[in-house]
Amino acid sequence: MNKVEQKKISNRARKILIFSLFFLSILFLGHKAKAVTVVIGWDPEAIKTRYSGSVLVENDGFDKNYWYLEPKSQERYLIENGKDISELLKTFGQGIYDKDLAKIATSTQSANVDYNFSQQKRGQILLQVEEDGQAWYINPLDNLRYHIANGQHGFDTLVNLAIEISPEKLSVIPITESKGFNELKDNEIDFDMYWSVIDTLKDNYYKPETVNNKDLFYGSLKGITKSLNDPYTEFFTPAGKNEFDNRLEGSVEGIGAMVDTKNSVLQIISPLEGSPAQKAGLLPEDQIWLVDDTDINGYSTSEATALIKGPAGTEVKLQIYRPRTGEIFEVKIIREKITISNVSGKVLDTNIAYIKINMFTLNLKNEFVKIKNEVIDDNTKGIIIDLRNNPGGYTNSAINLADYWLSADEVIFQEKYPNTVNSYSASLGQEINLPTIVLINNGTASASEIFSSALSENGLAQLVGTTTFGKGTGQTLANFPEGSALKYTIFEWLTAKGNSIEKNGIKPDYVIENTTASDLQLQKAQDLLR
């Protein structure tokens, strides 16, 4: 039972006694009794607008109740004593700087008053951020500000400013019991607050030379995507978009490792063949904690990689955590110009075709056809497709590659949207009909997992190695005219049989761990095809 209800019960007991006496007087007065008029049909919105931000006093004939009608929520908050004033200031107080507070008059003789600004703040409780949090109440009746001391003195001030309201009118205004009811609702946006943050930083940040509209705007868009807690959804500035394109196509200057964010930590998916990262001994699943002593915990993938990349010939220092051994160690790597080679191949002994695919780029199909024609002929006994440390890439490239193995209409994978599921099937007809082994490991991710699962679940390949990375969502890009872009998750992908691999990965048919001395996974693949 809240304190309003408790108070009303006490008042009701007194009313019963008075009503009994009143009823007796009617028996004696008879014809002198007057009719009581009941007003119905109050417009709640009109009443709340009329009294918004005011301190209201309800006089029911026995006692007085004081209420603060909070202007944003349009709900009333009971104030009975100095303790309630403390809660009121804590709950509803909004910060304001002296220069802005000075725009609101303290009397009719105040100078330099900004009446439009005063009108915007009417009914609010403002806390001076530069004066030890002194509190002010902007009275809606005169748009003047009144100092509100904490405790009983503040209660007395508000009582003196209260305006009377009838119980009938007050009854249409909802009561709140929450101390934080002025928070935004799930689908509510307060753009005034957004611009207030922008203006406050521009006017008051201690390093004004570092504040500009473009950075504030781009920063807010990055914050929007980060609020989703999805490591694959992020906003790219024009420079960030260019870096993202370079990761998928072409060359970059850096350490030569594909990375992604998993469980809020930057993790190495795969060091590229012959790269500085590989020479430094970095492995899939290694976590990068510090970049040149900067803690990158919570950074987006693009923000973290921007720190790791740099001009060829320069050094970057990384603190690495290796989950498989529990080690924490530091490596210093000299950056190089990294050229990403997508497809390579050779013929192994006993006529086995070996094709290594490093990434599913847009041009993968053409590169694959060239290598395929070089290493596969009428004498080929089987094929090894090496997708170890392949971080993925474009979904269409995975579809096009799987099309060489699958018969027409066999399902490659499925895209699960909020309201529908789309299946993607082979269309060209089976062109490659040879025993196939796909090599996978914990650096095999995304599009390479789509390809691996498509061949495995359709009975066209066996998987050898270790469990894959487990990236089971797909993203798309929305490009903007000035060069920025939004990469966002648009679907969860499922295997041909409808299985989700998100965070679980794909388990191989043959679990084989490599050693530093031998490629046991490749040896197992050759044994299976002999």
* pLDDT tens track for 386-434: 999 898 888 999 999 999 999 999 999 999 999 999 999 999 888 999 9
What is the predicted pLDDT for the residue at 515? 83
Mean pLDDT of 87-93: 86
191-210 in b/e burial notation, b at 16+ Cβ within 10 A? eeeeeeeeeeeeeeeeeeee
What is the spatial distance between Cα 517 and Cα 87, in angstroms, rounded to a whole number? 69
Q: How confident is the model at residue 509 (pLDDT cuts 50, 70, 90)?
A: very high
Q: Residue 301: phi, psi to the nearest 5?
A: -60, -45
Distance between CA atoms of residues 86 and 127, nearest Å: 12
Instruction: Tell me which of 254 and 434 has the higher pLDDT.
Output: 434
Read off the pLDDT of each residue in 340-349 and give the average, rounded to a whole number: 86
Which among 414, 470, 461 is positioned nearest to 441, based on CA atoms?
A: 470
- Does residue 352 register a pLDDT over 80? yes
Statement: residue 34 has pLDDT above 80: no
Look at residue 393 in the predicted model and tell me its pLDDT.
Answer: 86
pLDDT at residue 21 greater than cutoff 60: no
Contact 290, 319 (CB under 8 A): yes
Cα–Cα distance for residue pair 295/318, rounded to 1 Å: 10
Residue 84 in contact with residue 92, Cβ under 8 Å?
Answer: no
pLDDT band at 54 (very low <50, low <70, confident <90, very high): very high
Amino acid at 343: V
The topology (CATH level 3) of 343-529 is: 2-enoyl-CoA Hydratase; Chain A, domain 1 (3.90.226)
- What CATH number was assigned to the domain covering residues 251-339? 2.30.42.10
Please report the pLDDT score of residue 163 as a whole number. 94
Least confident of 56-65, 176-185, 498-507: 176-185
- pLDDT band at 5, cuts 50/70/90? low
Distances (CA, A) of 136 to 94, 100, 162, 402: 10, 13, 15, 69
Average pLDDT over residues 290-312: 86
SS3 of 466-512: CCCCCCCEEEEEEECCCCCEEEEEEEEEEECCCCECCCCCCCCCEEC
DSSP β-bridge partners for residue 15: none
Q: Mapping DSSP to helix (H, G, I), strand (E, B) and coil, where does residue 440 land?
A: strand
Residue 486 tokens, joined: 């939004």
**Rounded to whole angstroms, how far apart are CA atoms 393 and 216?**
31
The pLDDT of residue 166 is 87
Averaged over 153-158, what is the pLDDT? 92
Cite the active site residues: 446, 457, 471
Lowest-confidence segment of 166-175, 334-343, 466-475 by average pLDDT: 334-343
Residue 28: per-residue pLDDT? 35
Question: With contact defined as beta carbons under 8 Å apart, do 129 and 97 qualify?
Answer: yes
Q: Which residue reads 């790791």 in tokens?
A: 308
CA distance 190 to 358: 47
| Cβ burial, residue 51 (10 Å; 0-12/13-18/19+) | buried
Give the pLDDT band (50/70/90) at residue 187. confident
Q: Which of 16-30, 210-224, 285-299, 355-369 has the lowest mean pLDDT?
A: 16-30
Q: Which residue has the higher pLDDT, 248 or 385?
A: 385
Residue bearing the bigger pLDDT, 252 or 250: 252
E-assigned strands of 246-351? 251-254, 257-262, 265-271, 287-291, 294-295, 315-322, 327-334, 336-339, 343-348
Confidence at residue 98, expressed as pLDDT on a 0 to 100 scale: 86
CB–CB of 485/479 below 8 Å?
Answer: yes
DSSP characters over 378-394: TT--EEEEE-TT---B-
Residue 6 pLDDT more than 70? Answer: no
Query: CA 144 to CA 110: how far, in whole Å?
Result: 10
Most confident of 34-43, 70-79, 332-341, 371-380: 371-380
